[in-house]
Amino acid sequence: MKATAVPQDSTTRFTGLARIYDRFRPGYPAECLSWLADTLRLGTSCHVADVGAGTGKLSEELVYEGIRTVAIEPNPDMFQVLEAKSATTSLLTAVQATAEDSTLPDASMNLITAGQSFHWFDQQRFRAECRRVLKPGGQVALLWNSRRRDSDFTQATADVFRRHISDFPGFSGDHKVSAEEFDAFFEPDGFEYREFAHDQMLTVDEFLGRNLSATYAPREGDPAYAPLVADLRRLFDEHREVDEVRFPLTTRLFLGGVGV
């Protein structure tokens, strides 16, 4: 029996996945964050809003760079994990709000980031919110850790999901946003595009957790859950290098202004 993908409400679709998401989703490469900080001359006096922050995977990386960060996340489960992280450092503040209505003051941020989340937003409303919240000259950075779609391993993983999910939507990420939408969002300033290698070496538990953290993956108790896990284990065994498998990722960064 095949599972069906979960409903499409972007603010609730990760409900119940916060712990597995935080444990198994990757962070972002240090090279990417260093390039961003150096290019924009971000320092301790700068303020960054990380929107659609989830459990704070990108927010943590910004804080590691010494950047004062406000993390915005609407989902209660994800926000609970994020809020706990914010209690450990004065550089991170957690706010439960949406990308389109962040509750942040006007002209208060030097940079707005969105990691793994822009494709869930109402792009026009989010753009208007960015224009309201950014200081003059402020910019927006959209980031994704994207599976390399030219990889045989990525294609084989997608085939496993297609066998068990009747309306498998494909792996989410920047490819869900068209070139025209990127152009429209960053109008009139335009944007710079960068790629950073970010392959992961995963144990079988990490490989399963990474795949089961997706919103389209069946949950325990679903008839499709056990067959999917069994096929993912077989795929791991076919491709493993000793006790790990190479999970092919590229971090993609779109950086530009929105006319502020």
Residue 16 has a pLDDT of: 75
Residue 235 has a pLDDT of: 97
Q: Which of 44, 255, 59 is nearest to 139 (CA)?
A: 255
Residue 14 has a pLDDT of: 67
Residue 11 has a pLDDT of: 64
Structure tokens at 66: 């010494």
Which H/E stretch holds residue 254? strand 249-256
Residue 204 has a pLDDT of: 98
Residue 215 has a pLDDT of: 84
25 to each of 19, 55, 163, 189, 210, how far by Cα in Å?
Answer: 10, 10, 23, 32, 6
Residue 10 has a pLDDT of: 61
- Residues of the chain short of pLDDT 50, as ranges, are 4-7
- The 8-class DSSP code of residue 76 comes to H
The fourth-level CATH superfamily of domain 18-147+171-201+247-256 is: Vaccinia Virus protein VP39 (3.40.50.150)
Residue 145 has a pLDDT of: 95
CA distance 119 to 101: 16
Domain boundaries, the chain: 18-147+171-201+247-256
Task: For residue range 117-126, list pLDDT tens digits in order.
Answer: 999 999 999 9
Question: How many CA within 13 A on the CB side of residue 245?
Answer: 23
Q: 123: buried, middle or exposed (CB in 10 Å: 19+, 13-18, 0-12)?
A: middle
Which H/E stretch holds residue 86? helix 76-86
CA distance 131 to 62: 21
